[in-house]
Amino acid sequence: MRRLMRFRLLALAAIFVAASWPLASAQSAKRPISLEDLTRIRSVGDPRRSPDGRWVAYTVGTVDAEKDKRNTDLWMVSWDGTQPIQLTFSPDGESAPRWSPDGRYLAFLASRGTDEEKKRGTQVWLLDRAGGEAQKLTDIKGGVGEYAWSPDGKRLAIVVSDEDPAAEPEKMEGWKRKAAPPIIIDLYHFKQDREGYLKRLYSHLLLFDVASRKSEALTVGPYNDGSPAWSPDGTRIAFISKRGPDPDRTRNTDIFVIEAKAGAEPRPLTTFEGPDSGPPAWSPDGRWIAYLQGDEPRFTAYDLHKLAIVPATGGAPKILTVGLDRGVSGPIIWSADGKNLAFLVADDRVVYIGRTTAEGGPVERLTTGRRTISSLSPGPDGALALLTGTATEPAEVYAFENGRFRPLSHQNEAWLGELQLAKTEDFSSKSKDGTVVNGLLVKPASFTPGKRYPTLLNIHGGPNGQDQHSFSFDREFLAANGYVVLAVNYRGSSGRGSAYQRAIYADWGNKEVMDLLGAVDEAIAVGVADPDRLGIGGWSYGGILTDYTIATDQRFKAAISGAGSALQLSMYGNDQYVIQYELEIGPPWKARDKWLKISYPFLQADRIKTPTLFMGGEKDFNVPIIGGEQMYQALKSLGVETQLVIYPGQFHGLSLPSYQRDRLERYLAWFDKHLKAGK
C-alpha cells in the first residue's frame, strides 16, 4: 500500500512539474545515441506472407548483453498490422520461416534439444497454427542447410552436406586417438572464412517425405548443389550447382533442373561461363525459369547481375535487363499472369523495386525515396511483404500495395523514439580526373552551419557494395560524439553501373584513393570538414583502402584499419581469393610487377605518418590478421604511433556482442585522442 501511495504521489508531482514547465518540443527531450543502444537493436528479417495472405512471418534477432550472445526468434503479424505475435521463445534460435502450401504449418530451421541432439545439426521444425509446441520434422545427421516445400505440401527438397569423418576421429580408420586428425588439403581453393580449411565434402539435394519422415538422395557427386525451387506442378526442381571438369578452379555456377524422383539425372539449363545464380524462380505456367546472370569470369569480383529467363525444357536464355546499367538482385517475383517480373535494383545509394516484362525492355521503377528495400514476399493478391529502412530507421517489415508502403512491424520503434539522430544527406564530389563521385554526409544532430567539425572518412568494404540510405549504428554513434562522417562510394562500388564498378580492375589503390581524397577536399571546400582534424577508417576492403590512403597522403591525424592488408603479395595462398587473384592480377611468378605495385602501402610504409590502429579477427580467412600484423610491425619499426587489437575466435565479421561494443569504444577513443585532444 505504501508503494502504491508513493507511486501516486510521484505521478501527481510529475504532472504538477510538467504543467509548470513551458511547452517544450519532443525533439528537445531526445538524447544522442549511445553504446548501450547497440544491444537494443532488433534485427528484423526474412518476411514471408502466408498462402492466404492474411499473415506475415518474420525473424527478430536480439542481443543478451549479460550472456554476451545473440538469439533469433520467429514472429508473425496480421496483414492489417494489428496483431503482432511472438511465436518462439527458445534460447537456441530459429531461422528460415516457410509456410506450408495449405497454410497450416510454419516450418523453420533450428538446432534444439539435448547436446547430443544438437550435434546432429540444424533440423526442420513445424509449428501448427492450431497451437502447441513446435515438433521436429527432420533428423538428418549433419543437419539441413536449406529447404523448400513441394506445391502439394507432401515433400520437402532439402540441402544437406556430406558428413565430415574428422568430426568423430575415434571412428576413423587408423586414427584412434582423441586428438583431431591432421588436416589433409588437396584442393586449389582450400580455405574459406568461417568454414575454415576446405575438404572434399559437398552439399546435395534430398527428397524428404513429410508423412513417413523418410528421405532419399536426389543429387550425388563431387558438386555443391543448393537453392532448390519446385516447379508449379511439383514434378521438377530447379537448383544451382557448380559443375564441370574442375569446379574447384572456377566461380562458374549454372541452373539445373531435375525430376523430383530418386535416380533422376539433372539437366543443365545454362552454359554461361560466369556465375548464374538465384534463387531460381519458375513462371506460373512452369515454362520459364528466371535467374540472375553475372559477369564474365575475370570480372566476377565486380559482378553486375542481370535478370534472365531460360526455357524450363532447355534452350537459349533471354537477358531481360540489357538496357539497365545497374545491378539486379532477388528474390525474383513473377506476376500471377506470368507477363511481368519484379526484382530489386541497387541504384546510387538506394535499393528500389523494379519491374519488367517477360519479353524484356525498359525497367519500371515501382518505389521511390531515399531508402533501401530487400526480401520481397508476394501474396495471392499480388501485394508484397518486404523489408525496408532508411538512414534513421532500421529495416522493418512493411506491406507494399497499390504503390504505397504500410508498416507491419514496429520492433525498433520504442527505443528509436528516444533518440536524436544524425542528419544524413546526399554528397557529391569531383575527383582530380573529373570523375563525379557520390556518397553520404552524416552530420551531428546539433550541427551548426558555418562551423567546421572533426571529420571521419568511413570507408565501406567490398569493394562491390555501396554506402546507402540504410541505418548504420557506426555512423550514428560517431556523429553523436561530435564527428561529421563522410561515406564515399568510390570507383569499384556498386550502384553506378558496370564501367564504374570495373574501373579498379587489376589497379587497386589508385582510383579509389583519388576518389576518397577528392571527397575530403570537397568536404573541406564547403566548410564542413576541419582540415586539421581528419580521421580515416574502414573494415575489410575499407581497411585495405585505409592502408592505401595513409600511404598516399599524410593529411589524416588518425586512422583505423580493420581486417585490412597492404602487402597484397603475401595474401596469395593465405586468404580465400585465389580464383580472383589469378583471373585479375595473374600468378605472382607471371605478374610480379603488378603484385608489387598493389602492395605499395607496405613497401612504402616509411611514407606513413598517421597514428594507426589495426584490428581484426584471430580466425579470419577472408582477410587474415597477418595483413594487420604486418602493417603494425612496419609502423612500430618506423616509430609511428600504432596499436594492434586481435579478437580471439572471431572471423572476418565480429559476431560476439561484447567485441562489437569494444570495437566501437576503441574507434571513439582513438579518434578522440588524436582529433579532439587539446581542442
CA-CA distance, 341 to 502, in Å (whole number)? 27
The pLDDT assigned to 175 comes to 52
Sign of the CA dihedral with 661 first, then 664, 668, and 669 last: positive
**CB-CB contact of 162 with 142 (8 Å):** yes
Helix axes 541-550, 511-525, angle to 10 degrees: 70
The pLDDT assigned to 214 comes to 96
Residue 254's contacts (CB-CB under 8 Å, 6 or more residues apart) are 240, 241, 242, 243, 268, 269, 270, 271, 272, 276
Q: Give 383-408 pLDDT, tens digit per residue.
A: 999 999 999 999 999 999 999 999 99
CA-CA distance, 456 to 471, in Å (whole number)? 17
423: β partners: 443
Closest CA to 405 of 637, 129, 139, 81: 81
Distances in whole angstroms, Cα of residue 562 to Cα of each of 425, 515, 577, 611: 26, 20, 18, 14
Helix axes 657-675, 473-480, angle to 10 degrees: 40
Distances in whole angstroms, Cα of residue 217 to Cα of each of 161, 207, 263, 626: 12, 6, 8, 42
The pLDDT assigned to 8 comes to 37
CA-CA distance, 368 to 209, in Å (whole number)? 44
Burial-class residue 190 by CB neighbours within 10 Å (0-12, 13-18, 19+).
middle
Closest CA to 290 of 321, 250, 261, 332: 332
Closest CA to 523 of 667, 608, 391, 425: 425
**CB-CB contact of 475 with 423 (8 Å):** no
The pLDDT assigned to 59 comes to 98
**CB-CB contact of 456 with 478 (8 Å):** yes
Residue 227 one-letter amino acid: S
Residue 344's contacts (CB-CB under 8 Å, 6 or more residues apart) are 328, 329, 330, 351, 352, 353, 354, 373, 374, 376
75: β partners: 58, 86
Beta strands in 203-334 (DSSP E): 203-209, 214-217, 224-230, 236-242, 254-259, 267-268, 276-282, 288-293, 306-311, 318-319, 327-334
CA geometry: angle at 542 spanning 537 and 546, to 5°?
50
The pLDDT assigned to 34 comes to 96
The pLDDT assigned to 287 comes to 98
Distances in whole angstroms, Cα of residue 56 to Cα of each of 49, 128, 278, 336, 443: 4, 15, 23, 19, 36
Number of residues written out for the chain: 679
Beta strands in 402-528 (DSSP E): 404-407, 423-430, 436-443, 453-459, 484-488
Kindly state the helix (H) or strand (E) to which residue 13 belongs, with its residue range: helix 2-20
Q: Give 248-264 pLDDT, tens digit per residue.
A: 899 999 999 999 999 99
- Terminal alpha carbon distance of the chain: 54
DSSP state of 419: B
Q: Which three cell numbers stand for residue 560?
A: 583505423
Strand 558-562 versus strand 529-539 pairing type:
parallel
The pLDDT assigned to 169 comes to 59
The pLDDT assigned to 25 comes to 45
Strand 191-192 versus strand 196-197 pairing type:
antiparallel
Kindly state the helix (H) or strand (E) to which residue 480 belongs, with its residue range: helix 473-480
**CB-CB contact of 550 with 559 (8 Å):** yes
Q: Which three cell numbers stand for residue 375?
A: 526480401
CA-CA distance, 488 to 524, in Å (whole number)? 15
Weakly modelled stretches of the chain, pLDDT under 70: 1-28, 167-178, 678-679
Distances in whole angstroms, Cα of residue 560 to Cα of each of 44, 462, 488: 30, 17, 16
Structural domains in the chain, CATH included, are: 420-674 (3.40.50.1820)
Helix axes 541-550, 626-638, angle to 10 degrees: 20
The pLDDT assigned to 172 comes to 58
Q: Give 168-193 pLDDT, tens digit per residue.
A: 655 555 555 667 889 999 999 999 99
77: β partners: 56, 84
